[in-house]
Amino acid sequence: MLTLEEAYTDMLRSLIGLRKYVKIFYSTELHELLSLTSIITDLVPGPDGDSIVLVSGEVIPIARLVNVDGVYAPGQEDYTDCLVCRI
């Protein structure tokens, strides 16, 4: 049985294979909520956990993801009301 984190990581891997533009919401180290639209090109391991790599070369730790392609990251469902009008 898959955990929520494993299912979310599998979803990110499937988006890499599709190579489509997706809307990404993530938090910065200063707890700012940022959004962008990009193509996810890779999922890479790191000392603090896995990260996604965007077509621009930007690297975002999975732990900072809030919502990708309309799917909330595990534990980030509290952002539902905040993002409802932005997605």
pLDDT tens readout for residues 28-76: 999 899 999 999 999 999 888 999 999 999 999 999 999 999 999 998 8
Which domains does the chain show, CATH number per domain? 4-83 (2.30.30.100)
More confident residue, 80 or 30: 30
Q: Which residue has the tokens 């890499």?
A: 16
Beta bridge partners of 22: 38
Can you give the pLDDT at residue 81? 66
Can you give the pLDDT at residue 48? 87
Distance CA 75, CA 33 (A): 15
